[in-house]
Chain A
Amino acid sequence: MTSVIGSRAVREDAWGKVFGQAKYPADVNLPGQIYGVVLRSPHPHARIRRLDVRKARELTGVAAVLTASDVPHNSHGVLFRDQPVLVSERIRMVGDPLVAVAAESPETAREAARLVEIEYELLPALFNPEEAMRPGAPALHPEVHGESNVLYHLPVVKGDLAKGWASADVVVEQDYSTQMVDHAFLQPEAVLAQVDERGHLVVQAATQYPHYDRGEIAHALGIKVSRVQVKTLSVGGSFGGREDISLQLVAALLAYRTLRPVKMENSREESFYSHCKRHPMTMHYKTGATREGKLVAMEARIVGDAGAYASWSPNILRKAAIHATGPYEIPNLRVDSYAVFTNNPWTGAMRGFGAAQPVLAYESQMELLAKKLKISPVEIRLRNMFRTGSTTATGQALTGSVGLEECLQKVAPFLWKEGDRE
């Protein structure tokens, strides 16, 4: 019998990668291919008053200049279809795609994009989720999400908070915030799309979610899913940033309209504009403990900036709420977690998926409590951590293996030595 545990496995695709043979989408080409680029919005919030693509279309070597009116079903999104393939009227963020251009060379395509004339009506933009969630703030998605910019709210309630605060000998209350982060996967988005001899759209891309891409392409173009094939080539890093569909949609649209293979490659700068970011979160935490260092009460309010489109925001802020206590038992608590639309770049999946940000808040709270109680940071954690038999904030009973205590005991000697701390 062979066992995986303890044996040394070699990555299946490692050899192809060390020889430079692995094909990422930028590395594949087809005879007669044309090159696509996307013209993106420089404004965070605006209406398109006038869009004139005539000069771009007239440039020699241009194969297609497409706008919103060329997209049969102009919407996509992993949870809600609230994101346009190409903006028809309302721009909600810097980087929103406005016009797709394809030409005989990338240089010509870029030149044509520069010839597109656009008149904008600039609108006041919402950059702060706290402001965006106030009643009366202009709604960013009235059609899909209604009159409030609060996309999602999850309250988590456990125990009796009044009783909890009454039994707390020490309380720490603090605001925390994390910043927006880009995945910066090393391989910028690229795609090769073609209509093959069967009349099927074949799209070669680096994606985390090919079956979803397939559905979105079929939906946007109004064709049967069975006529769309998405091939995943080597993926040069993702970290969540390739869950939402990206250039695949535009390339498919250009190929479908021109009946020529379409190659698209983002520069690093375009890459930054064209995929989601990690949610910045602001977190207000109030945590109480007894003199003996037992946690008894916690209230937390977590606001995640969803940016311009929903993407995975509800799931991410749900995860933030579920993980809001960290790996510590707190009998009485209330957590309110929100995802709020703004005119910032849209936020979505990134390593940790909402579980990473609250760490800053709940672990800092533990440090502050330990200081107040004059016990060691290890000790306060040992007194409150999840063990087999613990129940989490959302009522999940941990019946299986919980290795946290064993783990902390093993690493503690390396983290803190006597005398290191005041």
Chain B
Amino acid sequence: MVELELTVNEKTYKLEIEPDERLIDVLRRRLGFTGTKEGCGEGECGACTVILDGRTVNSCLVLGVQAHGRKIITIEGVGDRRRPHPVQRAFVEEGAVQCGYCTPGMVLSAKALLDKNSDPSPQEIGVAMSGNLCRCTGYDKILRAVQRAAREVSGK
């Protein structure tokens, strides 16, 4: 077992994990952040996306130990019913949510993009979202939702 100290959604956790334990298992199983979804387990689908020190990663391809001393944002840390993030509101309002299983990862990829670039081109949105698969194939609405959120964030 290895000692791990990490910050999730601005709260610090100290725990012991196995060296080969994946970050997704640390988040879901040990810490109860079940908003992070496992779709493929091999970095293809992006459902397990979290933001690690400001950058999106697939939590199924990161070992828990690699998150030592670092800051993670999961979907639980993005917004809530009282204060939804613009991306979350846009996803609901544009009908970009169907089965919802890809949604947390989509929202986090979009948030990470807008945190760096509040006025992205459609092409930049496409690239930023290219690591997240939606099987209900609502991509068009998802892209529209990100554009809508961008307008709100940038005030344009």
Contact = CB atoms under 8 A, between A and B. Distances in A.
A207 to B, nearest CB: 13
Contact of B39 (A14, A16, A186, A239): A186
B53 to A, nearest CB: 20
Interface in B3-60: 33-42, 45, 47
Interface centre among B74, B103, B104, B107 (most CB of A within 10 A): B103
Interface in A246-285: 267-268
Given A187-B99, A187-B101, A18 B91 contact: yes
Which of the four size classes fits the interface of chain B?
35 or more
Given A13-B100, A185-B99, A21 B35 contact: yes
User: Which 9 pairs of residues, A with B, have the shortest CB-CB distance?
Assistant: A20-B35, A17-B100, A20-B75, A236-B101, A27-B34, A18-B88, A14-B97, A237-B99, A186-B101
Contacts of B42: 268
A20 B42 CA distance: 21
A78 interface: no
6 contacts: A14-B95, A17-B104, A18-B103, A20-B78, A186-B101, A237-B136
B76 interface: yes
A237 B102 CA distance: 10
Nearest to B95: A11
Interface of A: 10-11, 13-24, 26-27, 183-188, 234-239, 267-268
Interface centre among A16, A18, A22, A185 (most CB of B within 10 A): A18
Given A185-B99, A237-B99, 6 more contacts: A11-B97, A18-B103, A19-B84, A20-B76, A186-B47, A186-B134
Interface of B: 33-42, 45, 47, 74-76, 78-81, 84, 87-88, 91-93, 95, 97-104, 107, 133-136
Contacts of A187: 37, 39, 99, 101
A354 to B, nearest CB: 20
A13 B99 CA distance: 9
Contact of B91 (A14, A23, A236, A268): A14
A421 B100 CA distance: 42
A16 B74 CA distance: 15
Contact of A239 (B33, B74, B107, B135): B135
A186 B45 contact: yes
B100 A19 contact: no
A384 to B, nearest CB: 31
Contacts of A14: 91-92, 95, 97, 100
A18 B84 contact: yes
A268 B42 CA distance: 9
Contacts of A236: 37, 99-101
B38 A235 contact: no
B74 A20 contact: yes
A53 B39 CA distance: 31
A24 B103 contact: no
A14 to B, nearest CB: 4
A268 B41 contact: yes
